[in-house]
Structure 1
Amino acid sequence: MHTETAPAATDHLPISPSVLYFGTPVALLTTENADRTANLAPISSAWALGHTVVLGLGAEGHTVANLTARPELVINLPSADMWAAVERLAPLTGAHPVPAAKRPVYRHEPDKFAAAGLSPQPSETVRPPRVAECPLQLEARVRTLTPAGLDGEFRIAECDVVRVHASAALVVPGTQHVDPGAWSPLIYNFRHYFALSRPELGHGFRSQTTSNT
């Protein structure tokens, strides 16, 4: 009798990647500078639980300096087609002078909105402006800012969202819900940009936006 050996279910390799951005959403953070102008910075470490959003930030970044002194911000969520504007922001910093560790890669830019081709929009409950082009905008205040990482090179910001703005095209008519079929966030996947995959595979049992069609 011939017996076939079933193929292994997995074929894993131990690796040491330089980053672990395993498909995370991109956010544009607006904070207020000391002179009351706005700073705009892209991040790719964010997650939400209820109305708390947790952000991972570089400790030496200008965003952390701003939030330490003025703990208000807007968490702007760009759509997938905004990736080029996000990338224009990537090598820029609002810090002047540029921290020594950043100088080989980053350059100072006082007007990041103009550099990215984006537009500021007044907020309603916090001082930093929103990014007008972003379909979702979360006005927020920092509750805690905690050191993290082996050498304290990061800060974990716990933010209370106090107001949500959504493009009308994303809202389920007659409700307070974002239509997940209409919303396509920008995903940062091991330093490459992607749109959320389509089509929908299914929904969670607690979803309030399921379709009967």
Structure 2
Amino acid sequence: MHVNADLKVLYFGTPVVLISSRNADGTGNVAPMSSAWWLGQSAMLGMGNRSKTTENMLRERECVLNMVPSTMVDAVDLLAPLTGTDPVPERKAAKGYRFEADKFGAAGLTPQASEVVGAPRVLESPIQLECVVEQAHDFSGTSTAFEVRVVRAHIEERLLVPGTDYVDPVGWDPLIMKFCEFFGGAENLRPSTLASAWRMPHQGLVKAAAPIS
């Protein structure tokens, strides 16, 4: 039986991304987020207006999306209560956030020079997407929805289907944020009609169709 509920959180499950950006003084900033979705070679990113990342992206018009595997959950959790904004915004301070100038160091991450944009990559991330900001849209007065375009992609070779430019969905196990909790563990449940129609070169997946109840 369905009931009406005033749901307080609508994070039903999205991949975690570490967004790296360039501060005004040229240093790097990195922050976790999970309000992201992709279409073609572009992505939409949702960020709060009080975020240092938002400030940097509006000024620099670029960023790097560092995709996070489940094995990087500890680094993401270390970054979660940190902000590059000083002083810390009142609402964030009330939730326990603290200022940290070197967020890469605080999380044990290594900045890596990008090839197209000025923002650094996260060396430990197996998939790094250098992006430019195409448009920034006000979202409810408190957030900004960024439309970004991928201009250079870097990926560890082990995550590619051999001989192709496709990511192996079995090898890639993204860290998922679900209702503010971390989840991981890749498991193929049944064959995908859509993947078959698109002729995706997937390997090591379930072959026999399973009934849908």
**What TM-score does the superposition give when structure 1 sets the normalisation length?**
0.90
> Does the 8 Å CA contact 1:125/1:162 hold for their aligned counterparts?
yes
Task: Tell which structure's C-alpha radius of gyration is larger.
Answer: 1
Query: What are the superposed Cα offsets for residues 120-172 of structure 1, whole Å, 9 maximum, x if unpaired?
Result: 111110011111111111000011111112xx111000001001111111011
Query: What are the superposed Cα offsets for residues 40-87 of structure 1, whole Å, 9 maximum, x if unpaired?
Result: 010010000000110010011111111111111000011011111101
1:70 to 2:76 alignment? no
Between Structure 1 and Structure 2, how many residues are aligned? Answer: 201
User: Secondary structure at the residue paired with 2:94?
Assistant: coil
Q: 2:25 aligns with which of 28, 35, 54?
A: 35
- Partner of residue 6, structure 1: none
Between the aligned partners of 1:16 and 1:193, the Cα distance in structure 2 is 23
Between the aligned partners of 1:207 and 1:133, the Cα distance in structure 2 is 31
Q: 1:58 aligns with which of 39, 48, 52?
A: 48
1:195 to 2:196 alignment? no
Alignment gaps of 5+ in structure 1: 1-10
User: Secondary structure at the residue paired with 2:13?
Assistant: strand
Between the aligned partners of 1:207 and 1:82, the Cα distance in structure 2 is 31
- Offset, 1:200: 4.1
Query: What are the superposed Cα offsets for residues 9-48 of structure 1, whole Å, 9 maximum, x if unpaired?
Result: xx22222222111011100000000000001010010000
- 1:187 partner letter: I
- 1:112 partner letter: K
> Does the 8 Å CA contact 1:187/1:196 hold for their aligned counterparts?
no
1:210 to 2:202 alignment? yes
Between the aligned partners of 2:86 and 2:115, the Cα distance in structure 1 is 29
- 1:133 partner letter: E
What are the equivalent positions in structure 2 for 1:30-179 lying under 5 Å apart? 30-105=20-95, 106-149=97-140, 152-179=141-168
Between the aligned partners of 1:43 and 1:53, the Cα distance in structure 2 is 13
> Does the 8 Å CA contact 2:11/2:178 hold for their aligned counterparts?
yes
> Does the 8 Å CA contact 1:181/1:200 hold for their aligned counterparts?
no
- Offset, 1:97: 1.4
> Does the 8 Å CA contact 2:161/2:202 hold for their aligned counterparts?
no
- Partner of residue 175, structure 2: 186
Between the aligned partners of 1:79 and 1:124, the Cα distance in structure 2 is 22
Between the aligned partners of 2:203 and 2:127, the Cα distance in structure 1 is 22
User: Percent identity, aligned pairs only?
Assistant: 44
Between the aligned partners of 1:41 and 1:207, the Cα distance in structure 2 is 35
**1:142/1:199 CA distance change after superposition, 3 Å:** same
The Cα RMSD (Å) is 1.4
Alignment gaps of 5+ in structure 2: 208-213
